[in-house]
Structure 1
Amino acid sequence: MHIDLKGPAMGSSDATFGDDKADAHLHELVGSPSTPSDASETEKSATSIAPAPPAPAPDADGGPRAWLQVVGSFLVFSNLWGFTFAFGSFQTYYELTYIPQQDASTISWIGTVSTFLLIVGGILSGPFFDRGHFKTMLFAGAAIETFAVFMLSLCSVYYQLFLTQGLLMGLGNGLLYVPGLALVGRSFRTRRSIAMAITTCGAPFGGVIYTLIFEQLISRMSFGWTVRVMGFVMLAFYLIAFPLLLFRANNVGNLSSGTKRKLIDLGAFRDVFFCWYTFTNFFIFLGYMVPFIFMASYGQTALDMTRSKALNVIMIAQASSILGRLVAGQTAAKVGVMVPWVACAVCSGVFCIAWVGVRSVGSFIAYAALYGCFSGALIPLPPSVFPVICPDPKVLGARLGMAQGIGSVASLIGSPIAGALTRINSQGSAGGVNYMPLQLFSGVTMVFGGINLIGLWMMLIKKRGVKKWI
């Protein structure tokens, strides 16, 4: 099994949808053992990990045991991506109350480093899952993330927040990202898309839960006890998820097939389709997380909303992204991936540019709901078309991991760049706010990425001879 099944940053992660051709290729990643490959020129350029014994047969297609694993993975995603999506509430509180001496750009590095390590750690942890270390990774990742949350409750200065919420939490999450998806993928064939969709909807669900807890408790308790409550909720989610994932499951052992595991395929950089796909995704995700991180701050400083109402807007955006993911998946299954992918990327950017004209609470809520709905689809769609970008199954996993790794760099630097473009005076009053550069940065980068998608689409039709509706 190739090591890299996942979607992009903050993300990133996520469900796989698309036509039968794409699903068939992705089945090779998670639904069946990979086959030994020739000593091709591509393999010679790849970095490999030692082979392992043959894999056991995967679970039956679906069934109660498989659906329980979907529920368990949903809860795991609620923790590792939910806390990431909830960082906007922390950003606002840190910026205006907890560590106001730090600027918005500096604070945003906490969230982006955590997201970056989540995705990059997922790439590197794939081989360990292949060799049957799922239980170890599950317990270790859950323990590290939960420990990081409780340590966060004791932090009061920037470097402590960065080490716990940024570095430690990101490292723990990196152990959990790929295994949950791969485990679910191996249990389904005909219903894999919907199983993956349900699993990854745990991300915005967790974002709503943790944002709601923060919004309800931060004005009634200290920061420390608010975070501890979140830690206890996280611990409860994991304690429920463990038996659902592991009890009488026969697909958590050594899943490798004896083939070498490629981490890097240098030949990808000579492939114009790979480069175009990666370049386009980089710009889309350069602006993707910016609104989620700065929405609440904008509501409080520019629209004079209370902290509670501003955080409610984030929850609206997160909840609407669940709808966006499910609708995009169903649309992609009927008309192909490229139509909803292009539409969602361009519309998300346009909404960010339109954010410049938001002057009332009502229009702000409408913007948040629309952006959340359309941008939510940008997580599951890109991996679905990747088998068309890279039709060679021997290097598909390695190249997908490389593309997502490069995209994670965009998630790392996008919000700090946008934060540096905001200028808030020391009092945080509306008069000192200039969010227009941030809004334009997010919108223009996403529109640029969406327009480049059209070029990629046309080139695939012309050069690869694929059908019009990919």
Structure 2
Amino acid sequence: MSNSSTEAPDIHGQEADKDGTPPDLPAHNLHAFPEGGTDAWLTVAGASASLFVSFGWINSIGLFQEFFQDDLLPEYTPSEIAWIPSLMLLFMFIGGIFIGKVFDDDGPRYLLAFGTFLHVLGLMLTSVSSQYVQIILCQGVVSALGSSMIMFPAVSCVQTWFREKRGQAMGPVMGSSSLGGIIFPCMVTSLLPQVGFGWTYRICAFLILALCVFANFTIKSRLPPNPTKFQIINYLRPFKEPTFVFVSLGIFFFWWGMFIPMNFIVEAALQRGISVHLSRYLVAILNTTGVLGRAVPVALGDKLGHFNVTIIMAIFTTVLVLALLMPTTGQASILAFTALFGVGSGGVIGLAPVICAHVSPIREIGARIGTAYFFASFAALTGSPIGGQIVVDRKGKYFDTFLFAGVCCAIGTVSFIIARTTHAGFKLGKV
């Protein structure tokens, strides 16, 4: 059955909007997506820069886990260290429920400016930190909240300009997050022995500042601000729709499992005999293939159906974790998993906000994406510490940790399949 929240068709033959007003000029009409133009593609460029510095920085979590655990904070357990990247994920995603409301009411401008300030400030403060609590607060909270205010408006703005070409537009945006996950680990790995921890972080922060300035001047929402009264029911109403419920559950469970291999791949490779030098580049390898995974499947979704491609990539990722990562011991198999996992997980990451938007009214895109990611943030928060504690309980072995990750990804995959069914029934074809 079809979801009731799906947007109306294009402007041709369109009736008045729900509030009784006639269709507006095409640029501001809720249902007349330009599918291109200077402002639209500048927004895509700015959003790509935003995802590079926000999600791209977060995509380097595997390097943070290894560096903090082995060098900066060796007295702490893997589970304790895992709270740092997990809090980064939590505060980047949890803010979406509030940021989405601000975006729908006032647009992206103030969010982007304040997010730039917080993200850069958090990293600058981290550069002069040496204690666990200091790093938790500066990198895990302040910088991550800034990332959240940069990421959500960028993703939402792009989707106000495109519908039929939404995957084509979102491909480079989501792909840039993997590009950030390539550049930042390479920068950190190269700079650390040359300039030390403090200046490594400051150099990264200066790069982030430059790209954020570009994003602040190019990102623009197609729709004018539309302030509405805050009502908690607006956040609960989407959960009356089965499709939105199962999309949210799919994101939650998939995130719960997916970030565990991302976070522990470096340490797991070291434990299985891979050299330190090669292990530290695994995060960059994962994100290199993640560029392909986030760009190509999202664009293919325009042709084959966003739900269809999401499910295919989710199944592929789950099989990789359960059938390749769990039993693997050799260097070649770990490298193969890392490269393929970047493609599979990248596809799901890139398509998740697209399918959220696909089942959301245009005026609620910001709030609905934020709501779905709000709940997913708790999965991102707890997944890696749970995985780290399993490693401690199993005396440094990662088999059961990756089993937990694979099972979570499998549950998420089933949830995506149910969401597709509630949205479009059992029909084949583009969904």
TM > 0.5: yes
Which of 363, 366, 376 is 2:333 aligned to?
363
2:171 matched residue in structure 1:
197
State the shift of 1:454 in Å: 3.3
The yes-or-no answer on 1:233 pairing with 2:204 is: no
Q: Secondary structure at the match of 1:439?
A: helix
Distance 1:227 1:387, change over 3 A: closer
State the shift of 1:160 in Å: 0.5
Q: Aligned partner of 2:19: which letter?
A: P
State the shift of 1:460 in Å: 4.5
Distance 1:61 1:91, change over 3 A: same
Supply the distance in 2 between the matched residues of 1:436 and 1:424 (Cα, whole angstroms).
Answer: 12
State the shift of 1:192 in Å: 3.5
Q: Aligned partner of 1:186: which letter?
A: T
Supply the distance in 2 between the matched residues of 1:211 and 1:356 (Cα, whole angstroms).
Answer: 25
The alignment-based identity, stated in percent, is 25
Q: Aligned partner of 1:310: which letter?
A: S
State the shift of 1:182 in Å: 2.9
Supply the distance in 2 between the matched residues of 1:350 and 1:367 (Cα, whole angstroms).
Answer: 10
CA RMSD, 1 decimal: 3.4
TM-score (norm: length of structure 1): 0.78
Supply the distance in 2 between the matched residues of 1:469 and 1:225 (Cα, whole angstroms).
Answer: 50
Supply the distance in 2 between the matched residues of 1:56 and 1:460 (Cα, whole angstroms).
Answer: 29
The yes-or-no answer on 1:408 pairing with 2:391 is: no
2:417 matched residue in structure 1:
454
The yes-or-no answer on 1:156 pairing with 2:130 is: yes
Which of 400, 404, 411 is 1:441 aligned to?
404
1:349 matched residue in structure 2:
318
Supply the distance in 1 between the matched residues of 2:406 and 2:120 (Cα, whole angstroms).
Answer: 35
Contact 1:86–1:210, Cα closer than 8 Å, also in 2: yes
Contact 1:113–1:166, Cα closer than 8 Å, also in 2: yes
State the shift of 1:117 in Å: 1.6
Supply the distance in 1 between the matched residues of 2:266 and 2:17 (Cα, whole angstroms).
Answer: 46
2:70 matched residue in structure 1:
96
Supply the distance in 1 between the matched residues of 2:102 and 2:155 (Cα, whole angstroms).
Answer: 14
Supply the distance in 1 between the matched residues of 2:279 and 2:143 (Cα, whole angstroms).
Answer: 25
Which deviates further from its counterpart, 295-304 or 371-380?
295-304
Which of 245, 257, 267 is 1:287 aligned to?
257
State the shift of 1:136 in Å: 2.5
The yes-or-no answer on 1:296 pairing with 2:263 is: no
State the shift of 1:455 in Å: 4.0
Distance 1:156 1:192, change over 3 A: same
Supply the distance in 2 between the matched residues of 1:365 and 1:26 (Cα, whole angstroms).
Answer: 45
Aligned length: 416
1:313 matched residue in structure 2:
282
Q: Secondary structure at the match of 2:281?
A: helix
Supply the distance in 2 between the matched residues of 1:315 and 1:26 (Cα, whole angstroms).
Answer: 41
Which of 294, 315, 322 is 1:325 aligned to?
294
Contact 1:262–1:398, Cα closer than 8 Å, also in 2: no
TM-score (norm: length of structure 2): 0.85
State the shift of 1:256 in Å: 2.6
Unpaired segments ≥5 residues, structure 2 = none
Unpaired segments ≥5 residues, structure 1 = 1-20, 38-53, 426-431
Supply the distance in 1 between the matched residues of 2:5 and 2:236 (Cα, whole angstroms).
Answer: 23
Contact 1:265–1:395, Cα closer than 8 Å, also in 2: no
State the shift of 1:457 in Å: 3.7
Contact 1:341–1:378, Cα closer than 8 Å, also in 2: yes
